[in-house]
Amino acid sequence: MSAPEPRAEPVLAELAAAFHVATEFWDWQGRHVRVPRASVLAVLAALGVDVSSPESLLAALARRREDPWRRLLPAVVVTREGKSPWVRVHVPHGADVEVFLTLEGTGQRRDLVQQQVWVDPRWVDGRLVGEATFELPAGIPLGWHTLHAATEEQSATCPLVVCPQALLLPEPVRTRRAWGFATQLYSVRSRRSWGVGDLGDLADLTAWSGRDLGAGFILVNPLHAAEPSPPIEPSPYLPSSRRFTNPLYLRVEQIPEIAYLGARARAALTRLSRRCTARNTSPDELDRDTVWSAKLAALALIHAVPRSRARELDYQDFCEREGPGLLDFATWCAIAEERGSDWSRWPAELRDPTCPGVRAERERLADRVDFHRWLQWLLDAQLAGAARAAEQAGMPVGVMHDLAVGVHPRGADTWALQHVMAQGVTVGAPPDAFNQQGQDWSQPPWRPDRLAEAGYLPYRDMLRTLFRHAGGIRVDHVIGLFRLWWIPQGASPAAGTYVRYDHEALVGILALEAHRAGAVVVGEDLGTVEPWVRDYLRDRGVLGTSILWFERDSAGQPLAPQHWRKLCLAAVTTHDLPPSAGYLAGEHVDLRARLGLLTRPEEQERAVDEADRAAWLGLLRSMGLLREGAGVPETIEALHRALTWAPALLLAVSLADAAGERRAINQPGTDEEYPNWRLPMADSTGRPVLLEEVMASPWARALARAVSG
């Protein structure tokens, strides 16, 4: 047994604490773990700290302590409605300063009152700096306001963000529980799809489930943007950008300009369409590359059609509203089409969007830049159409989008937002019961310090785009708003450490943007989560997630649904497990055994798994929901009826269960060993099932009735 890592020396420990980097933590087994010194140094280096010598560590600690004194105002102030916090202003000692705020929208001025608080001045950078304390006035409305400070010699501004104390649920959800289907949209193909599910399919699924079955929402996988040209990353949880949307999901035939194509262009589009729609009934893995190549060609034909004056004005308004963020994204797409998506391999003069070389490329590629902005405009319209279908169907929530935890390390966001993203580290998870080697998700994290320096505007802009046509969002790995597991580049996941974020700011801004959108927020809080985090999210109005197979009491036995949380979305299964029919057959154990992913002997794994499932089925029988000797369909119905015994406000049914699917859509811990995110929706035999079949299925209606009770 190896000796424990020695405790970090005092200066390093203090420096790490100043940057919210953990030097020790408690693991999933309750053991105290000290983080290796090399890991702490590597993470500090990723935060811009010079760790080359003991002297540099001391200097970095001194700078960190003095940094607030170098600023007239903080980088940003985030507070809650009804509070009047103090703001510390730093000025040359003895200088007079005026501090006031202007309200968002109206520009109305409110003066801040200085408090009689004495703080000893400090020598910083060769000058004596004093600290003045001001109190924000009471009654500041929710919103993004601006703080101002001015002396005779200098002035500064910073964002003042006032967030809700708690996010209130929409009235229909507060008074009556809602249920809905959860699905991976790309796998849901109809007769009109081009080989993958699209936003037209989403609108149809929404309208049908809302009108005919009484569903209150549809939860879809992240629809974030991928690469602009093949090869396309199959995982929706490793996007190029989280702010923008993947045009693979466009329904080509719903673009108005298609009506004005010439005969030759129309014939070409028909050929492209037929080539892809023929794939809808294929049991083979989804071929995003072929589908996107065909859609790209079709969309290029439509882009060449002149827009009407009204449509052109709407497009220009969209581009103006999305501003530099959209322009940078479209520029990255245009350059990536020529030079590949890995921007680290581009010429040096193109690796930063602020470089003159990028401006020159933007002008040279003006038509392609316009094309990619146009695609986002089309997506915005079709997302609005799906939201409209939900509203017309009477859904109390509507379409619930999924927010991935991070982005591809060489994608559009890491190029455009590299000033707020850490280099030399990736995000993952420490060892736990399911992955005892830990996980590396290969995603670069936000730098907490730089995100605050940017006033949280990149975070806000991402949320606003996501909420624009959403009745709710699910935040994947919501613990990432509190802390993330940073892994030094080249190290094993087990050699990482936690970096804490300002959760008060991140959760507060999330609640503010959700409030403005009238949306629900669900946090995926499965796995190892500090208990206080769940309490905090509950108090802020963020729903948790309860998966039946994971709900256990303190003795490790199945927790009866009536004892689950109220503020949560409850479901039988999740996309990281097989659908219910497969889980009942133990296919998750079969698959992990076949792929060599088991962490204990196969016989032991099967025995434990069978005992767990037997305990759950025994509980269902004791509740009177399941008879002895029931078959698989009856058992799946009983599992879903059990959800209705929970006080949970939202219930989710996997659309894969409604189709009869047995295969997992994703197997954690694998990459190419399993076709993650590539399987079309199918029945128990692997035969593809189209959306029209699901909508006509008595089985789908039976599951809907099970959760509607």
Task: Note the pLDDT of residue 528.
Answer: 77
Virtual torsion, Cα 487, 489, 490, 494, nearest 10 deg: 0
What's the rounded mean pLDDT across residues 514-521? 97
Determine the Cα–Cα distance for residues 488 and 495; give it in Å rounded to an integer.
Answer: 8
Task: Note the pLDDT of residue 300.
Answer: 98
**Given a cut of 70, is residue 634 above it in pLDDT?**
yes
pLDDT tens profile 341-367: 999 999 999 999 999 999 999 999 999
Q: Are 529 and 479 in contact (CB under 8 A)?
A: yes
**Given a cut of 70, is residue 63 above it in pLDDT?**
yes
Determine the Cα–Cα distance for residues 472 and 157; give it in Å rounded to an integer.
Answer: 33
Q: Could you tell me which of 667, 531, 209, 619 has the C-alpha nearest to residue 396?
A: 209
Mean pLDDT of the chain: 95
pLDDT tens profile 273-298: 999 999 999 999 999 999 999 999 99
Query: The tokens 């949209």 sit on which residue?
Result: 185
Confidence of residue 437 (pLDDT cuts 50, 70, 90): confident
**Given a cut of 80, is residue 4 above it in pLDDT?**
no
What's the rounded mean pLDDT across residues 564-583? 96
Confidence of residue 7 (pLDDT cuts 50, 70, 90): low
**Region of residue 130 (phi > 0: left; psi between -120 and 50: alpha; otherwise: beta):** beta
| Per-residue CA distances from 244 to 50, 193, 412 (Å) | 35, 22, 10
Confidence of residue 314 (pLDDT cuts 50, 70, 90): very high
**Given a cut of 60, is residue 1 above it in pLDDT?**
no
Confidence of residue 431 (pLDDT cuts 50, 70, 90): confident
Q: Which pair of tokens denotes residue 538? A: 């509950």
User: What amino acid is encoded at 82 in this protein?
Assistant: G
Query: The tokens 């990255």 sit on which residue?
Result: 332
Residues 6+ apart with CB under 8 A from 552: 558, 559
Q: Which pair of tokens denotes residue 606? A: 């099967």
Identify the helix (H) or strand (E) that includes residue 182.
strand 178-183
Q: Are 695 and 462 in contact (CB under 8 A)?
A: no
Q: Are 519 and 472 in contact (CB under 8 A)?
A: yes
Determine the Cα–Cα distance for residues 697 and 687; give it in Å rounded to an integer.
Answer: 15
- Preceding amide of 445 cis, omega within 30: no
Identify the helix (H) or strand (E) that includes residue 225.
strand 224-225
Identify the helix (H) or strand (E) that includes residue 659.
helix 655-659
| Cβ-based burial of 308 (10 A; exposed 0-12, middle 13-18, buried ≥19) | exposed
Task: Note the pLDDT of residue 379.
Answer: 98
User: What amino acid is encoded at 201 in this protein?
Assistant: D
Q: Which pair of tokens denotes residue 604? A: 């032991």
User: What amino acid is encoded at 404 in this protein?
Assistant: A
**Given a cut of 70, is residue 372 above it in pLDDT?**
yes
Determine the Cα–Cα distance for residues 301 and 168; give it in Å rounded to an integer.
Answer: 46
Determine the Cα–Cα distance for residues 579 and 659; give it in Å rounded to an integer.
Answer: 10
Determine the Cα–Cα distance for residues 449 and 130; give it in Å rounded to an integer.
Answer: 23
Q: Does the domain at residues 82-163 carry the CATH identifier 1.10.10?
A: no
pLDDT tens profile 161-204: 999 999 999 888 888 899 999 999 999 999 999 999 999 999 99
Task: Note the pLDDT of residue 600.
Answer: 84
Task: Note the pLDDT of residue 19.
Answer: 97
Strands 439-443 and 241-245: unpaired
Torsions phi, psi for 443 (to 5 deg) = -105, 130
Q: Which pair of tokens denotes residue 421? A: 């993203």
Q: Are 68 and 130 in contact (CB under 8 A)?
A: no
Q: Are 416 and 461 in contact (CB under 8 A)?
A: no
Question: Angle 457-467/503-517 helices, nearest 10 degrees?
Answer: 30
User: What amino acid is encoded at 34 in this protein?
Assistant: R
Question: Angle 632-643/698-708 helices, nearest 10 degrees?
Answer: 30
HEC per residue, 187-210: HCCCCCCCCCCCHHHHHHHHHHHH
| Cβ-based burial of 403 (10 A; exposed 0-12, middle 13-18, buried ≥19) | buried
Task: Note the pLDDT of residue 607.
Answer: 95
Determine the Cα–Cα distance for residues 319 and 313; give it in Å rounded to an integer.
Answer: 10
Residues 6+ apart with CB under 8 A from 321: none
Task: Note the pLDDT of residue 215.
Answer: 98
Determine the Cα–Cα distance for residues 164 and 515; give it in Å rounded to an integer.
Answer: 8
Who wins on pLDDT, 171 or 57? 57
**Given a cut of 50, is residue 390 above it in pLDDT?**
yes
Determine the Cα–Cα distance for residues 463 and 449; give it in Å rounded to an integer.
Answer: 19
| Per-residue CA distances from 300 to 187, 376, 546 (Å) | 25, 14, 44
Q: Are 263 and 211 in contact (CB under 8 A)?
A: no
Q: Which pair of tokens denotes residue 115? A: 């408090």
- Preceding amide of 231 cis, omega within 30: yes
Task: Note the pLDDT of residue 6.
Answer: 52
Q: In the chain, what are the domain boundaries?
A: 82-163, 178-407+448-479+503-708
Q: Could you tell me which of 372, 386, 187 has the C-alpha nearest to residue 285?
A: 187
Determine the Cα–Cα distance for residues 634 and 92; give it in Å rounded to an integer.
Answer: 75
Task: Note the pLDDT of residue 154.
Answer: 93
| Per-residue CA distances from 488 to 41, 397, 411 (Å) | 9, 40, 19
Lowest model confidence (mean pLDDT) among 97-111, 458-472, 636-650, 659-673: 659-673
What's the rounded mean pLDDT across residues 75-89? 95
Q: Are 47 and 21 in contact (CB under 8 A)?
A: yes
DSSP 235: -
Q: Could you tell me which of 597, 637, 644, 635 has the C-alpha nearest to residue 613?
A: 635
Task: Note the pLDDT of residue 5.
Answer: 55
Lowest model confidence (mean pLDDT) among 179-183, 376-380, 426-430: 426-430
Q: Which pair of tokens denotes residue 411? A: 């994608």
Determine the Cα–Cα distance for residues 495 and 5; give it in Å rounded to an integer.
Answer: 12
pTM over 0.75: yes
Determine the Cα–Cα distance for residues 192 and 280; give it in Å rounded to an integer.
Answer: 8
Determine the Cα–Cα distance for residues 281 and 265; give it in Å rounded to an integer.
Answer: 26
**Given a cut of 90, is residue 232 above it in pLDDT?**
yes
Residues 6+ apart with CB under 8 A from 396: 170, 172, 173, 176, 178, 216, 217, 471
Confidence of residue 599 (pLDDT cuts 50, 70, 90): confident
Who wins on pLDDT, 668 or 155? 155
Q: How many helices (H) and strands (E) does the chain have?
A: 22, 25
Architecture of domain 178-407+448-479+503-708 in CATH? Alpha-Beta Barrel (3.20)
